Amino acid sequence: MKIIAGNWKMNGTRSGLSEMQTALAGVNTENRVILCVPFTFIDGTTGPAAIGAQDVSEHDHGAFTGQVSATMLAEAGAKYVIVGHSERRMYNGDTNEIVRHKAEMALSAGITPIICVGETAEERDAGKTLEIIESGVRESVPMGNGDVIVAYEPRWAIGAGITPSNDDIATAHKMIADILESMGRGDTPILYGASVKGANAAEIMSIPHVDGVLVGGASLKSDDFIPIITAIK
Ligand code: PEP
């Protein structure tokens, strides 16, 4: 079984989510499907895809205008939440430490965090890819109990239509698996994300230690998303 997670970012509509759920009902797959959607689409949504959010507050409650707590997300029905996505790190200053706090809040509310790590183009060009991934995992993933998912997302490849080589993905995922093992989290699924589509999903998911994919643009339309879900049955 693989995990296929979609990240709708700030796109879509509530009715579009209902249409996607209806389309997914006809899909023959044993893979776990998750859709991380804008906050306002979460409430009461049901269907074959489990629903997740795309961010959560690092605080429990209080004077944090515009933020949404993990407890609120859980009450609305979210089962997952993406934390540390490249765009949050880039536009909102989310550091590894903040990401870990967010993941801890999610866990305390019974929500599985999907913790993103990955290098920028500058970090890749400076030869720092593995160093950034390592510190990302060690500093963003909470110690202790509770299921988490880690997503390796090379930031330069997100939305760019390009992916690292299979060897580079394999190297990154093996290192992440080893670090998670050393943290007592050896069972953690590790997703690959960035420019996944129907045409490359099967090949990427056949790389060792790739337990599924995190999909941005190609998760918005069922015609693009379903071929990824059925790429490996
Ligand atoms: C993402 O933003 O998490 C992502 C993987 O985007 P895309 O698939 O569009 O590259």
> Where residue 225 sits, what CATH number does that domain have?
3.20.20.70
The atom of ligand 1 lying closest to the CA of 197 is 8
Residuewise pLDDT in 10s, the chain (233 residues): 999 999 999 999 999 999 999 999 999 888 999 999 999 999 877 899 999 999 999 999 999 999 999 999 999 999 999 999 999 999 999 999 999 999 999 999 999 999 999 999 999 999 999 999 999 999 999 998 899 999 999 999 999 999 999 999 999 999 999 999 999 999 999 999 999 999 999 999 999 999 999 999 999 999 999 999 999 87
- Whole-number Å distance between alpha carbons of 34 and 6: 6
Q: Which domain holds residue 76?
A: 3-229
Q: Is 214 in the pocket of ligand 1 (CB under 6 A)?
A: yes
Cα angle 131-136-140, degrees, rounded to a multiple of 5? 155
- Whole-number Å distance between alpha carbons of 82 and 100: 12
Is 85 catalytic? The answer is yes
- Whole-number Å distance between alpha carbons of 114 and 92: 18
Among left, alpha and beta (phi > 0; psi -120 to 50; other), residue 146 is: left
The residues, ordered by sequence, that sit 6+ positions from 145 with a Cβ below 8 Å of its Cβ are 107
- Whole-number Å distance between alpha carbons of 99 and 142: 9
Domain count, the chain: 1
Cα-to-centroid distance, 11 and ligand 1 (Å): 13
Cα-to-centroid distance, 12 and ligand 1 (Å): 15
Q: Which of 104, 153, 173, 209 is catalytic?
A: 153
Q: What local confidence, expressed as pLDDT, does residue 45 receive?
A: 77
Q: Is 116 in the pocket of ligand 1 (CB under 6 A)?
A: no
Q: Is 194 in the pocket of ligand 1 (CB under 6 A)?
A: yes
